[in-house]
Amino acid sequence: MARTRLTTAALVVLVWTAMLSFGGVAAETVVLYPNIFDDPPASLDRAREFLVAGSPHDYFPPLGASVVLSSLAAVVLTWREPRLRWWVVGAAAVFVACEFLFSVAFFWPRNAVMFVDPVGTHSAEYLRQVAEEFVAGHRVRLAGGGVTAALAFTALLRWVRVTAPAPAEHVEAGR
């Protein structure tokens, strides 16, 4: 019984963190990106001025770490459940591939060009190109977050179906 509760808790945390991450990326897409990438390099300069006290970098790395840790816990706890195993492994793999590895390889270098390198280091044309690439690549991250959340939620639903107690009326009727 304790393992069942622990597995349920791990799956709930995984779903919760995956949905927070996906929702954050979706909100960022709708709220921040139109302002940040509207008219580079001027919009990038405005973003540098605005994103001083807090930025997506303050939110996503700790949240991403919690998704990865809850994914690992859920994988370990569901490994003996073939009906769940691949849903959870899939969620973890998609998240790591689309949110972490893709970010490191694709987004981090572009973030450095747009927001870390001193203003005036790059030409306006190059900044526009990098901003377009960033927005195009962002679709991969958005899709990956949605797939991760959907796979994790499916695993949780399947787990609840397997472990939920039978309704009292069905037990009494002998069904």
d(CA 160, CA 129): 47
Q: What is the DSSP letter of 117?
A: S
* pLDDT digits 0-9 by tens, 68-122: 999 999 999 999 999 999 999 999 999 999 999 999 999 999 999 999 999 999 9
CA distances to 33, 68, 129, 143, 171 from 136, rounded to whole Å, are 12, 25, 11, 12, 54
pLDDT of residue 65: 96
| Per-residue pLDDT band at 145 (split at 50, 70, 90) | very high
- Encode pLDDT of 42-83 as tens digits: 999 999 999 999 999 899 999 999 999 999 999 999 999 999
Residue 174 has pLDDT above 60, yes or no: no
- Kindly list the distances between the CA atom of residue 19 and the CA atoms of 40, 91, 127, 129, in Å, as whole numbers in the listed order: 30, 12, 32, 31
Q: Is 68 helix (H, G, I), strand (E, B) or coil?
A: helix
pLDDT level of residue 165 (50, 70, 90 thresholds): confident
Q: What is the pLDDT of residue 166?
A: 75
Q: How far is CA 155 from the centre of its chain?
A: 16
How much of the chain, in percent, has pLDDT values that exceed 90?
Answer: 88
pLDDT at 172 over 70: no
pLDDT (0 to 100) of residue 107? 95
**In the predicted structure, residue 175 carries a pLDDT above the cut 70:** no
pTM: 0.89
Share of the chain above pLDDT 70, in %: 95
Q: What average pLDDT is seen over the chain?
A: 93
Q: What are the residue boundaries of the structural domains of the chain, listed by start?
A: 2-49+74-162
